[in-house]
A and B are shown apart, each in its own frame.
Chain A
Amino acid sequence: MSKYRKLLAASVLGACVAVPAYADKFGLGRPALPEEIAAWDLDVAPDGTGLPEGSGDVFTGEEVFAEYCAICHGDFAEGVDNWPKLAGGEGTLADKDPLKTVGSYWPYLSTVWDYVNRSMPFGNAQSLEPDEVYAIVAYILYSNDIVDDEFTLSHENFLDVEMPNAEGFIVDDRNTAEAHFWTSEPCMVDCKESVEITMRAAVLDVTPEEVEAEDAGQNPAAEQASTAVEAGTEETTALDPEMIEHGKNVFKKCKSCHQVGEGAKHRTGPALNGIVGADAGAIEGFKYSKAMKAAAEKGLVWTDEEMAAFLARPKAYMKGTRMSFAGLKKQDDIDAVIVYLKSFGS
């Protein structure tokens, strides 16, 4: 109530001078509850502020890393394809192409913990327990030869870890180091003796081709339609549009690794057009795990039942699959996503 009165007083004052200026607070918003702050205020500062209690060792970290991180970052944190390398690169920062990793570049350990905790794994962020985060961070440190294989990282010894490039940074000094760029009156006439072309972009030829506009400038309505009922085979007309819509929503969990629909390409996982009912491990141009190849040889077919079992608990269903996904807990999510996949052919 008091806030309301303040606002009222302020508006009256404002009206008097005919300016919408408020001398005091507006009384908008409501106090944040401690539970709400605890849920959102997760960042960790270099001095350890915000770090929860817990611990994790290198050995456990290796297992957790293999489960959740290795699909993109490699078993040894060496990076797969274009995904970030997390280890190596020591002493390369002054080289022509420096390799910037946690070990060679990152100045604060808090940043690693904070990033893994809040932003990873890609596509399933904020799903790790504090002890798992400690273990992953311990393993990344081990991969960079910063700790040995017996090491356990905890909130208690966190600040003892020395990051190799901690002293490698200076605060922006452009105002002094580049003071000569403030020349005010630059040269206008006869500024150079001669001008020669020293390098041409066409020689490198890395500019993307301009794809035909039909692919690029789609209107959103058409795009939506193509992902739903119209895209698939005739069979799709029998599919429940509500299930497709639900499945499309569930598929967001899969999207960081899989594409489906017109123009779908292989990403970390294979493109999934026509996957339901297809032979396992048979999509052209994708490198499957040994486990998937073995299952394919035994004649595994992605029937509704097999697909449902796989999606419920991928790692339990197929030991050794590269798909690092915990699984879909709800049966109706599983059913819906299968229907959604069927809408792209089966």
Chain B
Amino acid sequence: MSENSKDKAPSRRQFLSGAAAVGVGAIGAGAARAAGPDPLITQVQEWAQATGEGVDATPYGLPIQFEKDVVRRNVEWLTADTISSINFTPIHALDGTITPQGCAFERHHSGAIELSKPDYRLMINGLVDTPLVFTYEDLERFPRENRVYFCECAANTGMEWAGAQLNGAQFTHGMIHNMEYSGVPLRTLLEEVGVKPEGKWVYVEGADASSNGRSIPLEKAMDDVLVAFKANGEALRKEHGYPVRLVVPGWEGNMWVKWLRRVEVTAMAIESREETSKYTDTLEDGTSRKWTWVMDAKSVVTSPSPQAPITHGPGPLVITGLAWSGRGSITGVDVSVDGGKNWIPARLAAPGTDKALTRFYLDHNWDGSEMLLQARAKDSTGYVQPSKAQLRDVRGENSIYHNNCIQTWWIKETGEAENVEVS
């Protein structure tokens, strides 16, 4: 690890460019006094004189060029190949709660496929009165619901079990997105086929080459699971399962089967590869938990963070982040600036809603000294997000999945931030 490679680290680079953009920052509290007239104000700028693009220039818009760094990123060493791999949502650069589809993390097991609506079929079979096949058009004729839910990969923060590893909220906590789904309750479709009394589970399966499949207890299937075809108002993106995916609120992302092609009612769990060899959690003594479906309450400060350092001086600082729980809604988030010695209740941007992301803010007056920044979520069941030490006490370090520990960012006097662990 040379000095050179350190210089290339994102936090450092972004910090420097950020600082340069700000120019002469304000030192100390109070409004800064300008050294001279600002040419951006005193001179007529090109954009204030010439015209911009016409309405026919961009039939479907992408973010403006200045936002080109706000993209999904992957960690090459994590997997053997990008086709069976994952990337990360740039949560450090987003605000609010809704994740735009174009930068919402992707996880595929055999790549993102292109399946058209005319070619789409959904079969429901197994322990049912009448096995049925639905076309996409059929699905659009059932009564629809709109719901906002987070989808978190069970492996989110999985690289951090043994220690602080990846330097950026995008990489430590970016296997998550939060969208508004439009779709049909799975319950409606199961009632249409008629579930036999011996049916206790559904096995859901995708149409891609990985044939990813998971077993879901019938109780959950009849509760809040959605067969969704729109997200954030528009068709699902290819990488999120166009034309139809399953939405399994509060439960691990692997169960949200994309390109959903089949729902089979069964008497028992199928124990597929994704629910035995993967997505099971090995404890310290070598035994493993299975069927750990629900995502525990969790939160993270998204800014400041290693990819989003403080580029201004002391004074007003917006500390913000996200909180969520698979068991219910977020009722509160506490923030610590001293590594968990003392906690301050953060302001929720809106009251927490069921199994969806909640945005929190702490409007802080930064004195310019070092901070050990943490957030701690509380949910409607009374669960309080544990520290990494508390989690390791129960689970050891080999779980891979379901790491919902409190995250620490070390904010330095320069405003730079680093992923650290604290005592």
Contacts and interface: CB of A to CB of B under 8 A. Distances in A.
Count chain B CB atoms within 10 A of each CB in A29, A181, A209 and give the residue with the most: A29
A30 B9 contact: no
Contact of B423 (A189, A198, A255): A198
A169 B192 CA distance: 36
B37 interface: no
Contacts of B272: 43, 111, 114-115
Interface in A205-257: 205-210, 213-214, 216-217, 219, 255-256
Contact of B133 (A36, A100, A214): A36
B196 interface: no
B384 A181 contact: yes
Contact of A186 (B191, B212, B292, B384): B384
A5 to B, nearest CB: 16
Contacts of B280: 169
A196 B124 CA distance: 56
Contacts of B171: 207-208
B338 interface: yes
A277 interface: no
Contacts of A42: 211
Given A43-B203, A188-B342, A207-B167, A119 B384 contact: no
A9 to B, nearest CB: 16
Interface stretch (A18-26, A56-64, A293-301, A316-324): A18-26
A119 B70 CA distance: 34
A44 B266 CA distance: 11
A123 interface: yes
Contact of B286 (A28, A94, A201): A94
A201 B141 contact: no
Given A169-B290, A181-B390, A201 B123 contact: no
A21 to B, nearest CB: 9
Nearest to A112: B273
A30 B132 contact: yes
B410 A197 contact: yes
Nearest to B344: A188
SS of B interface (majority): loop
A41 B127 CA distance: 12
A114 B275 CA distance: 13
A187 B386 CA distance: 12
A213 B372 contact: no
Given A28-B138, A174-B292, A122 B372 contact: no
Nearest to B84: A122
A105 interface: yes
- Counting chain A residues whose Cβ lies within 8 A of the other chain, the interface size class is 35 or more
B106 interface: no
A209 B210 CA distance: 30
Given A45-B271, A192-B341, A207-B168, A168 B288 contact: yes
Contacts of A168: 286-288
B381 interface: yes
Contact of A200 (B285, B398, B420): B420
B334 A188 contact: yes
B80 A169 contact: no
B366 interface: no
A275 interface: no
Contact of B421 (A114, A190, A198): A198
Nearest to B207: A40
A47 B288 CA distance: 21
Contacts of A41: 125-126, 262, 264
Contacts of A200: 164, 410, 418-420
Contacts of A114: 270, 272-273
A198 B131 CA distance: 58
A205 B1 contact: yes
A192 B342 CA distance: 8
Given A32-B125, A114-B272, A115-B273, A72 B343 contact: no
B410 A208 contact: no
Contact of A47 (B143, B268, B390): B268
Count chain B CB atoms within 10 A of each CB in A45, A96, A105, A210 and give the residue with the most: A210
B381 A46 contact: no
Given A40-B205, A94-B286, A213-B71, 19 more contacts: A25-B192, A32-B131, A41-B264, A83-B80, A93-B282, A107-B271, A169-B287, A181-B383, A192-B341, A196-B422, A197-B372, A200-B420, A201-B306, A202-B11, A207-B171, A213-B68, A216-B71, A255-B83, A256-B110
8 contacts: A37-B123, A94-B285, A115-B272, A119-B209, A181-B386, A191-B343, A195-B341, A204-B163
* Shortest Cβ-Cβ A-B pairs, 7 listed: A94-B286, A195-B339, A93-B286, A82-B80, A201-B419, A213-B68, A29-B132
